Chains A and B, each alone.
Chain A
Amino acid sequence: MSEKNPEYDFLWCPGCGDFGVRRAMEFAMEELNIKTERPMTSNVVVAGIGCSGNTVHLLEGEQPYGFHGIHGRSLPVAMGIKMSNPELNVVTVAGDGDFLSIGMEHIAPQAARNLNICAVIMDNGVYGLTKGQASPTTTHDTVTSSTPFGKIENPVNPLELYLTLGVTYIASGYSSKPKDLANLILRGMEHPGFSIVHVASPCTTYNDTYTQLKGSAKLNIAPTAWTIPANHDASDRKAARAIIEEGGVPVGVVYEDNSRPSFDAQFETIRANNKQKSNDAQLAVFDL
């Protein structure tokens, strides 16, 4: 149920990390609207398929445009929208399965283009919506409904992947800190190029990792989430790699490269320098 639509009947499970990500998305878009003096309707949220994608229906308050498409394809839909109208703020929301399994093929081309869109990934290490199968980030040996004898495959390291592919803004966040997360998302939206905010967003039903993320003195578990120190130079690729190799869930901006021109900027120049011929002139090429 949402405020705007009482008939909408999808509910996240109590404690689901996606609540926090939704809140962060709302903060970030509101903040961006204030800064850019643009209306909420200049934002487009493109959703993947999964519990995470349902964020687009659950946003409260003033509504942005939304696009809820098919599994794994949030990036190309976002690309079509952004290239059509560079003025829009285009953000995608998708899960680890949507983005890193079926949609994996779309990350490299977007990184190569450096198109100015922002992807917010809600990583719960599991396929939530389909009820608990293994995802690319499910750890080795884990028993899930689709890996009853333990997962044989190695998990992917998303941050390492993004860095290798040349994504120009990589942030890592945690759903329980929506205000901090909102800042990471806002900075991603403002980054002139392709940005990914990868969020640890636990699935309370199929893969509850809150204890590990927060740690527990009682159970003698050290927290996996840790804050990236303020003196980290995000423009330094080597330093970024070191942060990633530290392991766990770093919270903050891992990498930001503002030196590479965005697709948008380069395209703008090309379009300005190459005017379209009139239809009459194009047809005349074929005159007999």
Chain B
Amino acid sequence: MAGRSEIVVRFAGEGGQGVVTAAEMLARAATGVGYHALTFATFPSQILGGPTWTQARVSRVPISSPGDSVDILVAFNDYAYQEHRSDVRDGGVILLDPSATPDPADTAHRCITVPFDALAKETGEARAANMVVMGGLSKLINMPLQFFKDFVSIRFAARESVVTANHKALDLGLNHLAAEESVSDLGSPIKPDYPQSFIKGNEAVSLGAMHAGIESYIGYPISPATPILVYMEKNLTGEGKVAVQASSEIESITAIIGAGFAGKKTMTATSGPGFTLMQEGIGLAWMAEIPIVVVDVQRGGPATGLPTKTEQSDLLTAIYPAHGDSRMPVIAPGTVEECFYGSVMAFNWAERYQGPVMLLSEHSLAERAQNIRKPDLANVPVEERVRYTGNNDYLRYESHELSPFSSPGGPGAYIANGSEHDVYGDTTHLGKYHIHMTERRFSKLKLLEDGDYEAENSNAKIAVMPWGGSKGSVREALDLLLAAGLDLGWYYTMFVSPLPAKMLAELQSKDLVIVPELNFQGQMALNLRSLGVKAEAITQYTGLPFGPGDLAGRIKQLLSGIGQSTGAVKA
């Protein structure tokens, strides 16, 4: 795919070499003039230095995944060259730091040594090495240098000497590669005719929470969720607002339950290990019927796991974090844009059914910077819990379904109770109340079954249904298969539990629902099978997202393996 109207550039080197910012800079500059772009980032495993890489995919048309093979690799050291060269497509270009030695046997790639640092020093601004790279890239991807220059002028507006040096670096980079042939011609950009934002998943989650009216945030630092804490500490302030760093995830979860009980819209964000520590608390919120939002930005593996990689392996624990009979509402955004809307909806759900809602993000989305349609805030509905307005002597748990919410300071005192309780909220051991309250709690989930979903080609007997951050890669894989003539349906929703009732009914009528997902066990497929859907997973657990081309091949393979290849091919 890579070639004509799009380009994938990977930057590999050591933390601190500007690798991390390079992809974002390219994406920001490109989207600024009307291209579409998204980045993929892995973190270095150490604070300073350590091998790391980032990638930007730039395209003339909208894109939704980090892409397949790499067109251009920028290797800042020999290790990076050795590690990543096999991911570069045949005919691709590798820009090498002089410290790296190109392999003479590597005839598949054009290897060009560029003295990034030496050229940067010539500008008088040693940190301009990144701009030398951008200058070179402008030649290789045929993107006018002026685009980058404008970007620099805006970015460093107040500091003229920095602008001058960076402009010079761009020129030097371009000159160095002046004689080289371009790898691709992106063509002139088609600037979208709607307002856009350039934003990362974690930022979109934070802004969604703000729009939903968050009043209280209490959290504990953990990768890759920390940026949400940092955003809240800085921005959730002013009268009546609380943003506080807790001493642990146990403190975070129980404190936000206190906030929710006190009548506030409240949230915490964490990742796997922290999420596990919150589980007893989440059960408490379910039991006492307290609206809260818990964000789990998934990373890989159990225990400390793979903190800097992406995985979708917390689905089952997000739906069933707590012991005892309970099932949590879970929203899993599939794009950066959905991180915003999913966050708003997580609050809306929490308010609507008065209980805990899990927002299941993932590393690749959290760190993905992308151009999205700017949310039109005036048209994104925000819901509020039904409030109690009566007198005292309120029996909050009397009804068999949702009841108005009273909060301290106002009338309607009751005891919010994590032990099984009677209509007063007093602890009970009586079977009749356990039946009453269990049914009451589950009845409220019905209020959440009307979520939006995508359905295409719904007559097909076999459908593909991704969830979460794999949405983009799976969509691109499906498009390849559809173009090849296969007859496959498409289903997608970010409302993964409870699933939209209508969508579930459609899935139940399929011969097969294929679920590509980034975990070993096929957690969504497992979940779907428990709901009466004939689901089969295609799994990957490399710590990296699916590549669309590779995935298309695996879907085909699965279909032929079960003798469905003819059935799925249009006659």
Contacts and interface: CB of A to CB of B under 8 A. Distances in A.
Contacts of A219: none
B257 A69 contact: yes
Interface of A: 2, 4-5, 7-10, 40-44, 46, 49, 54, 56-57, 62-70, 73, 76-85, 87-88, 105-106, 108-109, 267, 270-272, 274-277, 279-280, 282-283, 286-288
Interface in B191-219: 195-199, 203, 207, 210-211, 215-216, 218
Given A79-B251, A80-B259, A288-B198, 12 more contacts: A42-B409, A68-B416, A76-B251, A76-B255, A76-B258, A78-B258, A105-B248, A106-B247, A274-B237, A282-B210, A286-B197, A286-B203
A83 B195 contact: no
Contacts, number: 200
Contacts of A40: 413
Contacts of A46: 258
A41 B408 contact: yes
Contacts of A9: 428-430
B454 interface: no
A81 B255 CA distance: 7
A63 B237 contact: no
Given A65-B413, A288-B32, A73 B239 contact: no
Given A80-B261, A283-B207, A288-B32, A8 B416 contact: no
A57 B427 CA distance: 8
B242 A274 contact: no
A99 to B, nearest CB: 14
Nearest to A276: B238
B264 interface: yes
Contact of A80 (B237, B240, B256, B413): B256
29 contacts: A2-B426, A7-B422, A8-B422, A8-B426, A9-B430, A41-B392, A41-B412, A41-B413, A54-B427, A57-B426, A63-B413, A66-B415, A68-B418, A73-B254, A76-B255, A80-B259, A80-B261, A80-B266, A81-B408, A82-B258, A83-B259, A84-B215, A276-B236, A276-B238, A276-B241, A279-B377, A283-B197, A287-B195, A287-B196
B59 to A, nearest CB: 15
Interface in B443-478: none
Given A41-B408, A41-B411, A275-B238, A80 B377 contact: no
Contacts of A73: 250, 254, 281
A287 B31 CA distance: 11
A67 B411 CA distance: 16
A277 B412 CA distance: 34
Nearest to B433: A7
B424 A76 contact: no
A70 B281 contact: yes
Contacts of A78: 258
B101 to A, nearest CB: 40
Q: Which of A46, A70, A275 has the most CB of B within 10 A?
A: A70
A267 B417 CA distance: 29
Q: Which of A68, A105, A270 has the most CB of B within 10 A?
A: A68
A71 to B, nearest CB: 9
A67 B392 contact: no
A277 B416 CA distance: 34
A8 B259 contact: no
Contact of B258 (A81, A105, A272): A81
A5 B247 contact: no
Contacts of B424: 4-5, 8
A66 B425 contact: yes
A73 B266 CA distance: 18
A27 B201 CA distance: 52
Contacts of B251: 76, 79, 105-106, 109
Contacts of A288: 31-32, 195-198, 371, 374
Contact of B239 (A7, A66, A77, A271): A271
Contacts of B375: 283
A215 to B, nearest CB: 36
Contacts of A43: 408
A80 B262 contact: yes
A85 B418 contact: no
B248 A84 contact: no
B216 A76 contact: no
B254 A70 contact: yes
A42 to B, nearest CB: 5
Contact of A84 (B242, B410, B422, B428): B242
Q: Which of B281, B415, B416 has the most CB of A within 10 A?
A: B415
B280 interface: yes
Nearest to B415: A66
Nearest to B371: A288
Nearest to B416: A67
A9 B288 CA distance: 20
A84 B216 contact: yes
A69 B288 contact: yes
Interface in B366-410: 371, 374-375, 377, 392, 407-410
B284 interface: yes
Nearest to A38: B409
Q: Which of B195, B247, B280 has the most CB of A within 10 A?
A: B247
A121 B371 CA distance: 54
B246 interface: yes
A67 B281 contact: no
Nearest to B247: A109
Contacts of B415: 56-57, 65-68
Nearest to A83: B242
Contact of A85 (B207, B408, B425): B408
Closest 5 interchain pairs by CB?
A80-B258, A66-B415, A84-B262, A80-B255, A276-B238
Nearest to A77: B258
A277 B234 CA distance: 10
Nearest to B262: A84
A283 B256 contact: no
Interface in B464-522: none
Contacts of A270: 237
Contact of B216 (A4, A80, A274, A282): A80
Nearest to A113: B244
B17 to A, nearest CB: 26
A79 B215 CA distance: 15
A10 B428 CA distance: 8
A77 B257 contact: yes
Contacts of B416: 65-69
B79 interface: no
B263 interface: yes
Contacts of A5: 422, 424, 426
Contacts of B429: 9
Nearest to A82: B258
A279 B281 CA distance: 30
Interface string B285-322: 00010000000000000000000000000000000000
Contact of B408 (A44, A83, A271, A277): A44
A178 B231 CA distance: 48
Contacts of A64: 413
Contacts of A267: 242
Interface string B335-374: 0000000000000000000000000000000000001001
